[in-house]
Amino acid sequence: MKVVLKDGSPLEVGDDASVYDVAEQIGAGLARAALAGEVNGQAVDLRTKVPADSEIAILTFDDEYGQDAFHHSSSHLLAQAVKRLYPDAKLAIGPAIDQGFYYDIEFARPLSDSDLEKIEAEMQKIVKADLPIEKFTLPRAEAIDFYKKQGEIYKVELIEDLPADAEISFYKQGEFTDLCAGPHIKSTGQIKAFKLTSLAGAYWRGDEHNTMLTRIYGTSFPKKKQLEEHLARLEEAKKRDHRKIGREMGLFMTHDAGPGFPFFLPNGMVLKNSLIEYWRELHDREGYKEIESPIILSRKLWEESGHWDHYKDNMYTTVIDEEDYAIKPMNCPGAMLVFSNRLRSYRDLPLRLAELGRVHRPELSGALHGLMRVRAFTQDDAHIFMLPEQMIDEITGVIRLIDEVYTKFGFKYQVELSTRPQEFLGEIADWDRAEENLKEALAAMDLDYKINAGDGAFYGPKIDFQVEDSLGRTWQCGTIQLDFQMPIRFDTEYTGRDGEKHRPIVIHRVVYGSIERFIGILIEHYAGNFPLWLAPQQVVLIPVNKEAHGPACYQMQAELDSIGARASVDDRDESLGKKIRDAQMQKISCQLVIGDRELEGRTVTVRRYGEKEKIPYGWDEFKAWLQEQISQRLDDQAGKR
């Protein structure tokens, strides 16, 4: 029979061929690297028989679903080792995650790092045994009985939530069997390199009223070298942890008085305001008008927007004058009210309304993480109201703006198109049209993208931008959401050329996303060594002798202040060495030691943070260089329409 390969070429295979047989027929090297397959777009085991005329892809560790199968099989490897060492442990769930896996397990006693070493040793034995991984199914009632006999209460609960007529799939390796939909790799021997990385607590099903389980995190790779490189990146990530650097540089703090509500310190406010100033310059150039909407708005408004029905669990609510109100989780309804504040004409469009809106969303306490996951943050939001014929130009204009910002910070990025979710507002025809418009705009910008099916907002499809930092990690930041629904719900109108009333189309978009989160990403991306224009402390002047050189340092500080530089003088009664070390710890961009020689020759020797070489400048030359570096914040007319 014939099948079609990923590149579109046909291949003749045997009538009983499996995905693995196809891989072998293509080449022995591919067969060795194969981890899973894809048949007509669905991820499957290598053992899966292929139907005639089906589209086949062989998945390796370079493919997302190939990695998922490998990591998911690694979680089963972990669970098997745990059950051998701790027979009374009760297994919950063990999914693949980005760059690894975890398993939630109930233990009779807390685990320690020494337990992880024992589990790793047992996992290694299972790998060496090269146990085949085999799939089988049972009817729901038999599956429940299977786990009840073993006392696996969490597995029983998972199966009981499935339909009564469901057939339940399992994967078996040696004496160990786990409930799983798959796919999985062929055998345990393929997991050549792994490491259990950490322990954490996790409530069963994320509900704080349920049992606290032990979550064991791990990572795994087909080759030892890949694991070593990954662990080296993790060590580097620890050094770059934005919480650690934030403390050292005096950027932000957290407090039990407000979990998930970060406090920005003076240096952090300099950093945040520098980002906002840059944002405002860009948006002024691009013709945006800045607005501000209230933080608290009535329930009626949120019902009108659809958020009360579709997003209420992500909103803080309150009561004012015996009426329900909500603290806004997003800014869109306020922008809709601003647009409708007066009569609008087609001549007013496109109207680009930008807002640095403070929003609040309740996050589980266990999910809070520095600036990366908070309960209050600032969205660099904008809503563009436009005519249908302006849509492609406006979308591509936002894409150019996002590209300019990410390029400024040295970020590469990936693009995803998220389509209609299961719960949505409006007509399917409008959704289909919106998705096609976004595809057309991406094609116009010649951008590669992947489809993220079903992950659109409830009111429209969207383009998401995943930025990649210096460690290769990706973060979802920018988004462009195309909305035909909100104007209908708010009865938003403009007067067209024909004198009749029409509904505008709306783009919802952010560039930074959450400014707080973006700062956290920048801290780790640069390891605190920010570009000079962004650095909270740009220059420190360190007098060799406080009495002899201190007054001159303050005069030099005044000159630097006058050109817009952020400078300070360290005239503490400490040794010169300690002052230099402290300046390094605080990651001050330029450190200048001032003594007799510098004052007599009007020169400075600049020690840049993170660089070994010290650079001599004439004083006026240094000021000119510094001013030029600071002014590079906004490239001249870059991307201007």
Catalytic residues: 332, 361, 379, 381, 383, 462, 508
Whole-angstrom distance, CA of residue 435 vs CA of residue 420? 8
Using DSSP's 3-state secondary structure scheme, residue 16 falls into coil
Whole-angstrom distance, CA of residue 112 vs CA of residue 280? 50
Whole-angstrom distance, CA of residue 538 vs CA of residue 127? 53
Question: Between β-strands 412-418 and 351-360, what pairing exists: parallel, antiparallel or unpaired?
Answer: unpaired
- Residue 458: count other Cβ atoms within 10 Å of its Cβ: 17
Nearest to 80 by CA among 44, 154, 25, 133: 133
| Look-up of token digits 């990690």 | 473
Nearest to 391 by CA among 339, 349, 420: 349
* Three-state secondary structure string covering 416-482: EEECCCCCCCCCHHHHHHHHHHHHHHHHHCCCCCEEECCCCECCECEEEEEEECCCCCEEEEEEEEE
- Beta-carbon contacts of residue 631 (< 8 Å; ≥ 6 apart): 533
DSSP at 59: E
Q: Tell me the β-bridge partners of 290.
A: 354
The answer to whether residues 630 and 278 touch, using CB atoms and an 8 Å cutoff, is no
Instruction: Read off the amino acid at residue 211.
Output: T
Q: Tell me the β-bridge partners of 212.
A: 203
The answer to whether residues 458 and 310 touch, using CB atoms and an 8 Å cutoff, is yes
Whole-angstrom distance, CA of residue 159 vs CA of residue 138? 11
Whole-angstrom distance, CA of residue 102 vs CA of residue 91? 12
- Helix 242-249 to helix 515-526 angle (10° resolution) is 90
The answer to whether residues 516 and 361 touch, using CB atoms and an 8 Å cutoff, is no
Could you give phi then psi for residue 320, rounded to 5 degrees?
Answer: -130, 125
Element (H, E) at 105: strand 100-106
- Beta-carbon contacts of residue 253 (< 8 Å; ≥ 6 apart): 246, 247, 262, 263, 265
The answer to whether residues 107 and 89 touch, using CB atoms and an 8 Å cutoff, is yes
What is the CA angle 411-329-342, rounded to 5? 100
Cα Rg of the chain, angstroms: 29
Using DSSP's 3-state secondary structure scheme, residue 97 falls into strand
Q: Is the dihedral of CA 627, 632, 634, 636 positive or negative?
A: positive
